[in-house]
């Protein structure tokens, strides 16, 4: 919440600095200082997570388990904060499902853990995407999430340590590959292909993906609309079901760590980053600067709607403890969740009906 208030306090500054930006300045800033910076952070945090798991495996204390769990949460932040720009290599190279397929296939994972197979990085790489990535690591580090979001270090078996070391190494490898695809080479079959950040930041007739700056701006806006729809009508609505009797914990993302609401908030934070150009301590310009040239009131209203959505998502958290997976089994929690869903859908409509048309003005 503190972060949201700080962002709100920065609105005037961001608007003042972003208003005079050209389309090319917006594209350059968002491409390099938001998207590429996020993927570099993701790769760095994933390497830290792998190191923390190796330390835990060598010395399985409660303190080292807590550090590994913190490292998982820290890695989750840049990943979930990237979901407004799931275009380019993360899509074309099939990296998204390698990192973040859910629900986890717990039955098959438990079967592998009971087998005599040696668990290596290549072994995990050959398994299905629902047996690797964030949620496999989450299940092993935090437990089943039913009544608590942690477990004692003594509950971790030798086989689970093998699996954790292998799958965190693979996560670090895949996130480094993603960062490299944006910074140095987006097509592994063409060594002369540049990093995707160079492609998206240089639109023109000779660009294979973006013939104009409008095409890049539309990519940005469609990316924001895509994650708004997914959070509202997939990540939140699917587990809620039609009523409290059909709520389904198995469909909740990040249920083991009780990190779902932080995931959803960071998803919308990625919208905020593309819209304002604000990422960590870096400030705009973002798409807002383009909207301001057409309708300053609309530009400010959209930013307010984004911040409101983030606050409504955090407000779903049950007062007595727990996360989204617990809230959807209570009437008041479901009411708070529905209020957030309605706000997300309203923001999606604003993007589609009011922001998108500004690209042609």
Q: What spatial distance separates the first Cα and last Cα of the chain, rounded to whole Å?
A: 36
Q: Domain 213-360: which topology?
A: A middle domain of Talin 1 (1.20.1420)
> Which has the closest alpha carbon to 224: 293, 278, 282, 270?
270
Give SS3 for 244. Answer: helix
60-110 per-position pLDDT tens digit: 999 999 999 999 999 999 999 999 999 999 999 999 999 999 999 999 999
Residues 6+ apart with CB under 8 A from 273: 34, 38, 81, 84, 279, 286
10 Å CB burial of residue 142 (0-12, 13-18, 19+) is: buried
- If you search the block for the tokens 């009544």, which residue do you land on? 147
The whole-angstrom separation of Cα 88 and Cα 147 is 39
pLDDT at position 1 over 70:
no
Q: Which residues of 168-198 are buried (b: 16+ CB within 10 A; e: fewer)?
A: bbbbbbbbbebbbbbbebbeeeeeebebbbb
Asked if the domains 23-195 and 213-360 are classified in one and the same CATH topology, the answer is yes
Reported as type and span, the H/E element at residue 357 is: helix 356-358
pLDDT in tens, 46-61: 999 999 999 999 999 9
The residue ranges of every structural domain in the chain are 23-195, 213-360
- CA atoms of 339 and 337, how far apart (whole Å): 5
Q: Which three-class secondary structure state does DSSP give residue 282?
A: strand
Q: How far apart are CA 196 and CA 180, in angstroms?
A: 9
With b for 16 or more beta-carbon neighbours within 10 A and e for fewer, the 290-307 pattern comes to: bbbeebeebbbebbebbb
Cα–Cα distance measured from residue 45 to residue 123, given in angstroms and rounded to the nearest whole number: 23
The C-alpha angle with vertex 257 and arms to 251 and 258, in degrees rounded to 5, equals 65
Of 237, 227, 236, which Cα lies nearest the Cα of 268?
227
Neighbours of 47 (CB within 10 A): 19
**Sequence-distant (≥ 6) Cβ neighbours of residue 355 within 8 angstroms:** 221, 287, 291, 298, 302
274-306 per-position pLDDT tens digit: 999 999 999 999 999 999 999 999 999 999 999
Task: With a cut of 70, say whether residue 4 has pLDDT above it.
Answer: no
Say if residue 9's pLDDT is above 60: no
Per DSSP, the three-state class of 292 is helix
User: What is the pLDDT, as a whole number, of residue 15?
Assistant: 43
pLDDT digits (tens, 9 = 90+) for 187-227: 999 999 999 999 999 999 999 999 999 999 999 999 999 99
What is residue 16's predicted lDDT score, i.e. its pLDDT? 41
Which pair of structure tokens corresponds to residue 135?
């949620």
23-195 classified as CATH 1.20.1420.20: yes
pLDDT of res. 147: 87
Encode 325-355 in three state secondary structure.
Answer: HHHCCCHHHHHHHHHHHHHHHHHHHHHHHHH
- Structural contact between residues 64 and 141, judged by C-beta atoms closer than 8 angstroms: no
Query: What's the rounded Cα separation, in Å, for the pair 14 and 277?
Result: 9
Tokens read off for 171 = 């996560």
Q: How many CB atoms lie within 10 A of CB 147?
A: 8
Q: Quick one: tokens of 208?
A: 């294979």
């Amino acid at each position: 919440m503190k972060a949201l208030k700080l962002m709100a306090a920065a609105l005037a500054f961001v608007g003042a600095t972003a208003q005079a930006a050209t389309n090319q300045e917006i594209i350059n800033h968002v491409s390099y200082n938001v998207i590429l910076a996020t993927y570099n952070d993701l790769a760095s945090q994933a390497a830290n997570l792998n190191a923390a798991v190796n330390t835990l495996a060598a010395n399985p204390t409660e303190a080292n388990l807590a550090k590994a769990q913190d490292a998982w949460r820290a890695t989750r932040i840049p990943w979930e904060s990237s979901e407004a720009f799931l275009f380019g290599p993360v899509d074309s190279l099939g990296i998204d499902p390698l990192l973040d397929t859910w629900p986890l296939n717990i039955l098959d994972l438990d079967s592998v853990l009971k087998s005599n197979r040696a668990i290596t990085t290549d072994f995990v790489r050959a398994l299905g995407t629902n047996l690797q990535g964030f949620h496999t690591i989450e299940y092993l580090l935090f437990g089943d999430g039913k009544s608590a979001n942690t477990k004692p270090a003594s509950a971790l078996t030798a086989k689970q340590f093998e699996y954790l070391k292998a799958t965190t190494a693979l996560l670090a490898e895949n996130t480094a590959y993603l960062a490299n695809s944006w910074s140095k080479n987006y097509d592994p079959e063409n060594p002369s292909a540049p990093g995707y950040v160079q492609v998206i930041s240089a639109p023109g007739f000779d660009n294979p993906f973006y013939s104009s700056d409008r095409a890049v701006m539309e990519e940005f806006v469609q990316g924001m609309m895509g994650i708004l729809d997914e959070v509202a009508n997939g990540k939140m609505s699917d587990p809620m079901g039609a009523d409290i009797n059909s709520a389904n914990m198995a469909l909740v993302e990040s249920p083991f760590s009780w990190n779902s609401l932080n995931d959803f908030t960071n998803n919308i934070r990625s919208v905020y980053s593309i819209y304002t150009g604000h990422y960590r301590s870096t400030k705009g310009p973002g798409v807002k600067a383009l909207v301001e040239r057409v309708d300053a009131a609309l530009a400010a209203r959209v930013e307010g709607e984004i911040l409101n959505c983030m606050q409504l998502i955090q407000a779903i958290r049950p007062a007595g403890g727990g996360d989204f997976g617990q809230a959807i089994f209570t009437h008041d929690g479901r009411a708070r969740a529905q209020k957030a869903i309605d706000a997300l859908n309203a923001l999606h409509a604003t993007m589609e009906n009011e922001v998108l048309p500004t690209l042609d003005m």
